[in-house]
Amino acid sequence: MTQPTPYLPAAPPALSAEDQEALTDLYVRGTPPNTLRAYERDLLYITAWKAARFGVALDWPEAEAVALAFILDHARDLEDAPQEDLAREAADALIAQGLRKTLACPAPSSLDRRIASWLALHRMKNLASPFDAPQVKQARSKARRAAARPPAPKSQHPITRDVLVQLLATCRGSRRDCRDRALLMLGWASGGRRRSEITGLRREDVSLKELDAKGVVWISLLETKTTVKGETPLLVLKGRAAQALVHWIEVAGITDGALFRPVSKADRVLSRRLSPDAIYQIVKHRVALAGLPEGFASPHGLRSGFLTQAALDGAPIQAAMRLSLHRSIAQAQKYYDDVDIAENPAADLLG
Residue range 251-288, pLDDT digits in tens: 999 999 999 999 999 999 999 999 989 999 999 999 99
Looking up residue 175, the CATH number of its domain turns out to be 1.10.443.10
Residue 166 sits in the same domain as residue 289: yes
Would the pLDDT of 2 be above 70? Answer: no
Is 273 a domain residue? yes
Sign of the dihedral through C-alpha 188, 192, 198, 204 = negative
Q: Do residues 191 and 249 touch, judged by C-beta distance below 8 A?
A: no
284-318 pLDDT tens trace: 999 999 999 988 999 999 999 999 899 888 888 88
At residue 344 the predicted structure's pLDDT band, cuts being 50, 70 and 90, is: low
Q: Per the domain annotation, does 6 fall within a domain?
A: no
Residue after which a domain boundary falls, among 103, 121, 146: 146
Dihedral (Cα; 335, 338, 342, 346), 10-degree rounding: 40
Predicted confidence (pLDDT) at residue 124 exceeds the cutoff of 90: no
Judgement on whether residues 326 and 217 belong to the same structural domain of the protein: yes
Both 304 and 177 in one domain: the answer is: yes
Residues 169 and 289 in one domain: yes
Same domain, 142 and 170: no
The answer to whether residue 4 is domain-embedded is: no
CATH number at residue 70: 1.10.150
* Residue 109 sits in the same domain as residue 242: no
pLDDT in tens, 160-181: 999 999 999 999 989 999 999 9
222 vs 132, higher pLDDT: 132
Distance from C-alpha of 272 to C-alpha of 277, rounded to nearest angstrom: 14
Q: Is 98 left (phi over 0), alpha (psi -120 to 50) or beta?
A: left
Question: Which is nearest to 195 in space by CA: 284, 274, 288?
Answer: 274
pLDDT digits (tens, 9 = 90+) for 46-69: 999 999 999 999 999 999 999 999
Is 13 a residue whose pLDDT tops 60? no
pLDDT of residue 202: 92
Give the number of other Cβ atoms within 10 Å of residue 233's Cβ.
12
Does one domain contain both 202 and 343?
yes
Residue 7 lies in a domain: no
Q: Which of 123, 146, 169 is the last residue of a domain?
A: 146
Per-residue confidence (pLDDT) for residue 243, from 0 to 100: 94
Residue 326 included in any domain: yes
pLDDT value, residue 143: 84
Q: In the predicted model, is pLDDT for residue 126 greater than 70? A: yes
Q: Does the global pTM surpass 0.85?
A: no
Evaluate whether residue 95 is within a structural domain: yes
Chain mean pLDDT for the chain: 86
Residues 342 and 225 in one domain: yes
Task: Judge whether 253 lies within some domain.
Answer: yes
Same domain, 137 and 224: no
Within-domain flag for 151: no
- 295 contacts 146 by C-beta, under 8 angstroms: no
Q: Where are the beta strands (DSSP E) in 15-76?
A: none
Asked if residue 61 has a cis previous peptide bond (ω within 30° of 0), the answer is yes
35 and 175 in one domain? no
Number of domains comprising the chain: 2
Which pLDDT band holds residue 107 (cuts at 50, 70, 90)?
A: confident
Neighbours of 70 (CB within 10 A): 26
Q: Residues 196, 201, 202, CA angle at the centre, nearest 5°?
A: 150
Assess whether 71 and 166 both reside in one domain: no
End residue of a domain, out of 112, 146, 180: 146
CA-CA distance, 147 to 319, in Å (whole number)? 36
Same domain, 268 and 120: no
- Which range marks the domain in which residue 70 is found? 17-146
User: Which of 62, 61, 44 shows the shortest CA–CA distance to 52?
Assistant: 44
